[in-house]
Structure formats: structure tokens, C-alpha cells
Amino acid sequence: MSELKLNSPLQYVKGVGPKKAEFLQTLGFQTVNDILFFFPRSYLDRTSVTDIAKLSPDTYVTIIGKVKSHGLLYGRKKRYEVILEDATGAITLTWFHGIRYWEKLFKKNQIFACSGLVGSYFGMQMVHPDMERLEDESDTMIHSGRIIPVYPQTAELSKAGLNSKMMRRITTYIFENLTENIKDFLPKKVIHSTKLLSLNNSLKTIHYPENREEVEQSRRRLSFNELLDFQFMVFMRKKRKNRITKKHSYTPNKKLFSDFKKNLPFELTSGQEKALHEIIADLQNESPMSRMLQGDVGCGKTVVAVLAALFAAHSKLQTAFMAPTEILAEQHYRNWNSVLNEFGITSRLLTSSQKTADKKKTIELCQKGEIDILFGTHALIYDSVVFKKLGFVIIDEQHRFGVEQRSRLYAKGDNPDLLVMTATPIPRTLTLTLYGDLDISTIDSLPSGRQPIQTVWRAGDVRDKVYKYVLDDVQKGGQSYIVYPLIEKSEMVQLENVEDAYKRLTASTFKDISVGMVHGKIKPKVRDEIIQNFFDGSIDVLMATTVIEVGLDNPNATIMVIEHAERFGLAQLHQLRGRIGRGSKKSTLVAIAHPPLTEIATKRLEYFTSTTDGFKISEADLELRGPGELFGLRQSGELRFQNVRLGDDKDLLETSRKLLEYLFQNENKLDSDYKKLHSYLVKNVNKELIELGGA
């Protein structure tokens, strides 16, 4: 084999061959380039290895040990377990998926390095760790003090023979035989001013680092690439949208708003008025609105959205109002249906758990254009749901939906206006990056008359005292939420769960009061009834999982207890807290944490109790979080970053955005260095743009 190029098919790489190459192709690896962009997930070196005896839960560690035993177990869930031991102790490694593959992998006394998150379940445990068999090659590497890359491993990849060792062999071969230089698309000026590695060097070092600093340097360069790609896509989306002229229009009517507002039990805050004003103005523009309405939990976003939907209805346009949970969709519908009716506006609710006949009726009416505002859950996305004239799409708690789900709803109209809402305030730097294609309206104050929520956290053995406090309050007419991290006993972690706690407490402390339980496995219909009972006061204490996290609005509930608060992220704790403090009575939140607490969990709880300002919380969340998991953005498919660490890379965020602004503002007079970057981005990002569609 002589000429190895970046776009050479993998079969020409020594050790791969045609057969393996064919299989790798089905996994998305076609060329040399694809392999170079398949990055290690972690690195092993002697200094990063922890003794098994010293492990503590919730930490991410690497251990090295010998297989003591291995086998298949049938519990509540079939699983494969390996007991790995070193000189100090033993740990259980568990796999729930790909069992057939793992089963064949292990032999007694083999030595493995293994990295993952430590959990505890009848002793220390790691679920689905990354494994690396240590023998000759890697063993010597480790002893020679080198740091060795460990690649993400799945049963599929392993079937293709693409384990870490193979990857190391392939990348070595590639770097030795590549006749082509990996060209950098970044202008020299930019590389110089940012002090980032060249693409060539970053790719080399990420696969072959000498030390940790090199890993970090290449990560930063690759992070910059991802940020550029992502933001370029966002810029393009915005540009494309601004070029569209929509076919529908709105008919202004001042009296409509003032009449509707007169009917409300409160006056809009100045923040709400301002946001409404921005939205109404935007709706009357020629190109479709793409706007995000942001504001802290409880600031009153819903009423603003409903007023905008009223405007659409008045203009003979239909509105789709999508919320992430049945509870929330139903609450919106219940709160607004009759008020809207008084104004001659028809609204209906569509969720998947409704009776088929009801759903059919709704879908029929919607198609005929006889529904003005359709509230609903993901059910709105179904193909069977057709609008006669969808002019306006509202997405509540937008980060709960995937990009694709949002696009599908959007596509039901002909360039409709879009309003997305989010209750988790997002740090400004991030808003600009992630939502640069959206205009932002911010409601920056809470309705007046709200009492600040007192928040405390307690560690350890305080449960009885706290539950007694809840009981005392109920006896004075109060209502409480108690939140648990789990529905039922888990195979993975030993945590208090809502089902066991419910059984125990309703037989003891809470035996004389009315207690309800809701979680994700309770049928939506039953769940809604329980929540309704909680709203009308016939249930005193609602024991729940985080299904209550978004939107629920019961002003009489003034106490919230969060069990295992150390398990929740800062933004999530803040969201949960938003369920109380909604009325005029003073509210209290008690976060119970169960040791051992990691340093970061302690910091989180300290911070959580120190402020109720959502924007401050979101900034702190960004600092404290590990890579990428911010506000569940990753899970929604919003962020598919591999190398970006939002907390650490703020400078890169800023620099990449400025660079793109420059590109877009000077599109016609770029010098050749910048043109190169521009055409690289166009080529690279076009594919994704097509995938993501309109919204």
C-alpha cells in the first residue's frame, strides 16, 4: 500500500481489509478521515488509577484489576456481571445490554483497565464501564508512563474488531503512511490569536498524547471546530428564515387585548407587557417569527403565549400549543379553555392517552379549521394531525423536545410563526451560541406579591423530623410536595424511592392525612386525577418523582421536600422549587442530602440554597456541570458536542461567534484565508441543515 489519503477507503489500512471495512461502513466509518475523527473517550495512565478500596460513589474513575469471576444473572432484569479485584478490594461490573458479546469477552484472571462512574448496589458497582484488556502492548505502554487512549466501546464496534487496541494500531498506521497533510481550514491569523493547535497536530495528539496537557490542548482545538460548525448552522438558519416571506398575516385589534386582560384575575407585569409587545410586533413582520420567550419559573410566560394565540385566532389562524407532559398540556387547556370560549375562541386538547373517539373528533375538527387553539403533547406531531391553516406554533418547555419533534410540528404549517418557551434561564453566552437564530424576549421579574422561598439543605438522618414538619403544616391546612429520585427500588443504586416511601409513610407518619403518589409509571388518567385532587385540596401531600418538575401550578402548596437532593442538577432543583412559592403564603423548601456527598454535590446544594435567581443558578450550573449535560440539552439532541466543555470553553464560544459574525458581515470581501474557512463550513454544515429542516 503506497498512497494513503484522507479519503482512502478503510480497507487499505493495514489490519482492516475489505471484510472488516465493509462492516465498519455499516457503522458509519468509510474513510481514513472518519477514523481520525473517532475520538478516545478517556485515557489511561498509572497516575489516574484508583485503588478499589478507595472508591466512592458518584466519581468517575479508572481501576485496574483481575477478573475473579463472571457470569449471567437473572434478577428483575437479566444482567452480566464481572467481579474485578485488585490488591485492595473488589468491585462488580454490570452490563444490561450487549450481554451476548460481553459474555464471551472475559476469562478468569485476565487483567483489565476499566473506567466509569462508580455506583453502589450491595457494594461498589460500575454499570457499562469502558473496558481495556491489559496485556503486552497496552501493559508496557502503561508501565512506560505513557498515557493510552481508550475509545468508546459498544458491542457493535467490538464485533467489527474496533476495540481500543485495534484503534491504536490503525491510527499509528495512518499517521505513518498518510501522504497527505491534514489541511487546516482555520485562517492563520485565527490560529495565531487563539493559540490553538493546528488541525493536524490536534488530530495526532488526541490519538497519541504524551501527557494530559496535550490531551487538553487538542480537545480545545476540536471543541473550537465543533463550535464553529454548530454556530455556522445557526447563522445559516437565521439567514434563510429572514429571506422567507410568510403567506399569512395578522389583523391588529387593541380592544381584543384590553378586554381579555380585563378578564384576568391579575394585571400583567411590566416584563410580561414588554414581551407581549415584542411578540405582537414580530408577528406582524413579513418573515416568520422565531422567538424564544425566556424567564424564570413562575414569571408568567403562559398568559403571554395565550394572548399571542388569541391574536392569531382573531386573525383566523390556528395555533398549536405543545407542552412536554400530559399534566402540563391538560393544565394549560383547563386554565384557558373557558376564558377563551367567552371570546368566541375554540380550543381543544389532544394527548395520546385520551379515548380514541375523542382524539378522532379533535383531529377532524382541527382539519376542518374548527379549532383555533389546539393544546397538546407530542400527540400533536402525529401524521394524522392536520391543520387547515396553522399560523402559529407555541412550544412550551422547548428543551424537553428534540430538534426533530419541533421541526415536525413546525412543518405542519406553511412557514408558521414560532414561539418557544423555556423556564430554565440560560446564560447569555449560551443563548447567543445555541439560539443565535432566535430572537429573545425575556420576562425579568416575578409577579408582585410573591414571598421569597426559604430554602435549606440538611444532610443525613433528618427524615423523621422533616416529615413531621410536613405533617404539622398539613394540620394547619397546608399542602406539600415530596420529591424522590426514583420510582421503585433500583438495580443500579440504593436510593429512597417513591413507592417504598409511600407505603411506609402512609402506614406511619402520614396515616391520618390524605396522601397521593404520582410518577411516570402511573397511567396518565389516574395521574391526572390525583393531581386534580391535589389542586382542589382533597390530597394534602403529593409524593412524586420529577414528573412534577415542569409547569404544575398549585398556589396552596407551600412546602417541598426533595429526597436525595444530591442526585439532582442545579437547574433541575431550581425547576422543582418553582412548584412552590406561587401564592401569597411563605414557602419552604427542604433539600435532604444523603452522604457520602461529593465536593461538587455539596457546592451545588450550597449554591442552591443561597439564591432563588434563575439566571444566577444557570451560570453556576454551567460552571459546576461536567461536560455538556447542561439542562438536559444533550438529551434533546440540541448539543451533539463531543469535545466542547461549555463551562471551560467560554472564551472559545465568544471567539467562534465573533469569527462567524465577521464571516457573515463580510461575505463578499473575504480574503483567501477566510474564504477557505467559509467554504469548508458551507460544505460541512449543509448536510446537517438539510437534516434539521425548518424549525
**CA 597, CA 73: separation in Å to the nearest integer?**
30
Q: Rule CB under 6 A: say whether 582 interacts with ligand ADP.
A: yes
Q: Smallest distance, Å, CB 532 to ligand ADP?
A: 16
DSSP, res 627:
S
**CA 76, CA 243: separation in Å to the nearest integer?**
56
C-alpha cell at 23: 462492516
CA distances from 257 to 260, 281, 307, 314, 378 (A): 5, 14, 7, 10, 29
Q: Rule CB under 6 A: say whether 302 interacts with ligand ADP.
A: yes
Q: 321 vs 680, which CB is nearer to ligand ADP?
A: 321
Contact range with ligand ADP by CB under 6 A, out of 35-43, 45-53, 108-116, 296-304: 296-304
Which one of 551, 581, 614, 694 is in contact with Mg ion (CB under 5 A)? 551
Q: 3-class DSSP state for residue 150? A: strand
Which option in ligand ADP, Mg ion, none does residue 298 bind, with CB closer than 5 to 8 A by kind?
Answer: ligand ADP
**CA 187, CA 202: separation in Å to the nearest integer?**
16
Which option in Mg ion, ligand ADP, none does residue 324 bind, with CB closer than 5 to 8 A by kind?
Answer: none
Nearest to 291 by CA among 646, 695, 18: 695
Q: 251 vs 270, which CB is nearer to ligand ADP?
A: 270
Which one of 162, 268, 309, 438 is in contact with ligand ADP (CB under 6 A)? 268
Q: Rule CB under 6 A: say whether 583 interacts with ligand ADP.
A: no
Which one of 40, 149, 187, 295 is in contact with ligand ADP (CB under 6 A)? 295
Q: Rule CB under 5 A: say whether 149 interacts with Mg ion.
A: no
* Residue at shortest CB range from Mg ion: 551
Q: Smallest distance, Å, CB 282 to ligand ADP?
A: 19
Q: Smallest distance, Å, CB 143 to ligand ADP?
A: 57
* Residue at shortest CB range from ligand ADP: 300
Which one of 149, 187, 298, 391 is in contact with ligand ADP (CB under 6 A)? 298
Q: Rule CB under 6 A: say whether 269 interacts with ligand ADP.
A: yes
The count of other CB atoms within 10 Å of the CB of residue 236 is 19
Contact range with ligand ADP by CB under 6 A, out of 96-104, 260-268, 619-627, 674-682: 260-268
Which option in ligand ADP, Mg ion, none does residue 150 bind, with CB closer than 5 to 8 A by kind?
Answer: none
Nearest to 660 by CA among 431, 430, 433, 440: 433
Contact 406, 381 (CB under 8 A): no
* DSSP of 43-112: EE-GGGB--GGG--TT-EEEEEEEEEEEEEEESSSEEEEEEEE-SS-EEEEEESSSHHHHHHH--TT-EE
* DSSP of 557-588: EEEEEEETGGGS-HHHHHHHHTTSS-SSS--E
The rounded radius of gyration (Å) of the Cα atoms in the chain is 28
Site size toward ligand ADP, by CB under 6 A: 17
Q: Rule CB under 6 A: say whether 478 interacts with ligand ADP.
A: no
Which option in ligand ADP, Mg ion, none does residue 553 bind, with CB closer than 5 to 8 A by kind?
Answer: ligand ADP
Contact range with ligand ADP by CB under 6 A, out of 4-12, 46-54, 265-273, 646-654: 265-273
C-alpha cell at 175: 499517521
Q: Rule CB under 6 A: say whether 423 interacts with ligand ADP.
A: yes
C-alpha cell at 361: 373528533
The count of other CB atoms within 10 Å of the CB of residue 311 is 25
Considering only residues 21 through 50, tell me which ones interact with ligand ADP, judged by CB under 6 A: none
Which option in ligand ADP, Mg ion, none does residue 266 bind, with CB closer than 5 to 8 A by kind?
Answer: ligand ADP
Q: 32 vs 292, which CB is nearer to Mg ion?
A: 292
Q: Rule CB under 5 A: say whether 300 interacts with Mg ion.
A: no
C-alpha cell at 50: 484508583
| SS3 of 78-92 | EEEEEEEECCCCEEE
Q: Rule CB under 6 A: say whether 451 interacts with ligand ADP.
A: no
Give the amino acid at 371. I
Q: Which x/- pattern, by CB under 5 A, does the window 494-533 give for Mg ion?
A: ----------------------------------------
The count of other CB atoms within 10 Å of the CB of residue 248 is 20
Contact range with Mg ion by CB under 5 A, out of 215-223, 525-533, 545-553, 594-602: 545-553
Give the amino acid at 481. Y
Q: Rule CB under 5 A: say whether 295 interacts with Mg ion.
A: no
Contact range with ligand ADP by CB under 6 A, out of 124-132, 141-149, 267-275, 366-374: 267-275
What residue spans of 247-390 are helical by DSSP H? Answer: 254-263, 270-283, 301-314, 326-342, 356-368
Nearest to 17 by CA among 5, 1, 40: 1
Q: 293 vs 474, which CB is nearer to Mg ion?
A: 293
Q: Rule CB under 6 A: say whether 580 interacts with ligand ADP.
A: no
Q: 3-class DSSP state for residue 442? A: strand
Q: Rule CB under 6 A: say whether 96 interacts with ligand ADP.
A: no
Cis peptide before 596 (omega within 30 of 0): yes
Contact range with Mg ion by CB under 5 A, out of 2-10, 548-556, 558-566, 644-652: 548-556
Which one of 24, 64, 299, 541 is in contact with ligand ADP (CB under 6 A)? 299
Q: Which residues bind ligand ADP (CB under 6 A)?
A: 266-269, 272, 295, 297-303, 423, 447, 553, 582
User: Which residues make up the interface to Mg ion (CB under 5 A)?
Assistant: 551
